[in-house]
Amino acid sequence: MNTVDLKTVKISIIVPVLNERQQLPELLADLARQAEIGFELLICDGGSTDGSFEWLQQQEGPLPVRLLQSPPGRGRQLNLAAEQAAGEWLLFLHVDSRFADPLALKKGLDFLQRSASKLLAGHFALNFRRSDSVPSVGYYYYEWKARLGRPETIHGDQGFLLQREFFQQLGCFQEDLPVMEDTDFAERLRLVGQWQLLPAELSTSARRFEVEGLWQRQLLGALIMCFRQIGWNHFFSAAPDVYRQQAKTDKLLLRPFFRLIRRLFAELNWRDRRRIWRHSGSYVRNHAWQLSFAIDARRAFRKGIPVGKGQPVLTQWFEPIFDLLTDNRLGNFLAMLLLRIWFVCTGLLLGLVERQRSAD
């Protein structure tokens, strides 16, 4: 690998990888097109067995790349690379992230540097690269939601750009979360700072959604974000075994996760079960705005309005009225009751679908 002139580094781009040999050439070629800004690329490999690390060692070119190795775990890989970074600014990216604009990094950094506050972080406007060119209201919805900047709408596939000093102040990424370490970091940052939407787009591959299923992936993500928010960490200590089973499948199987939740609930006393259901119901009630936003997104999609350019008229009307009527003990109780009914019905439906697949 080529050496890095640390004097010219303004941004340290940090990318964790694990068996991403096919994505790496495109990543390096894409970042090499970024102009008018000095940066380094730190790639932290978590124990790849597909030749990713060996391939990177053999590369020579204009892109300044530093290679690191660590035990597997995205949080651990991100933190190790951040410790070694030379830049004043850190940009955390996924290996399948791509910039269409060769000035995306410069524009993003210039945008944040206009503010005197050091408690700012930026995320890019997200769009999905899909194998199917047919427009999809589902992807439209998630791309627009990612630009809102609301709680739990900012994730690692949008890129995180912030000063290294601010990153150190926040306390790095959680290393004990098997997934959603990026969402956890984004929400901790929100408590003390502010997120800004940067004036450039970042595309990410829809490969995982296309293989596992868009709604399946999003439903699992919603469960995980709920448990993270309410502090039910026991789920995360037990979930890795289920994730390892998923690596052997194509479509994401949700029923094993529902069985895991039921098993963990059975091990709790009734007070703890009631507490988890109560907090989960409150969490769901707080996110009910997404129902009206889905209608807003569908309306804008049908009108051909570009992502993020529409007006969430229904959501702006629905949310304050809904909160006024439900932000109380009765509203939270009803949300908890509906959530429990949904959980039972969804578990039964997933069981029927799984049996049907086995029969076929």
pLDDT digits (tens, 9 = 90+) for 80-130: 999 999 999 999 999 999 999 999 999 999 999 998 888 999 999 999 999
329 contacts: CB under 8 Å, gap ≥ 6 = none
Model pLDDT, residue 4: 55
Model pLDDT, residue 61: 72
Q: Which two tokens stand for residue 171?
A: 């306390």
Q: Output the CA torsion 189→195→198→201 (10° steps).
A: 70
Model pLDDT, residue 50: 93
Domains of the chain: 6-205 (3.90.550.10), 211-287+328-359 (no CATH)
Residue type, 153: T
Backbone angles phi, psi at 5, to 5 degrees: -85, 100
* Inter-residue long-range contacts of 209-213, CB under 8 Å, 24+ positions, other chains counted: 209/128, 209/139, 210/130, 210/131, 210/132, 211/250, 211/251, 212/250, 212/251, 212/252, 213/251, 213/252
Give just the sign of the alpha carbon dihedral 150, 154, 158, 161.
positive
Q: Which ranges of the chain have pLDDT less than 70?
A: 1-7, 240-250, 357-360
Mapped onto helix, strand or coil, the DSSP state of residue 201 is strand
DSSP percent split of the chain into helix, strand, coil, nearest 5:
55, 15, 30
Q: Are 97 and 157 in contact (CB under 8 A)?
A: yes
Q: Which residues pair with 196 in a beta bridge?
A: 122
CA distance linking residue 311 with residue 292, whole number of Å:
12
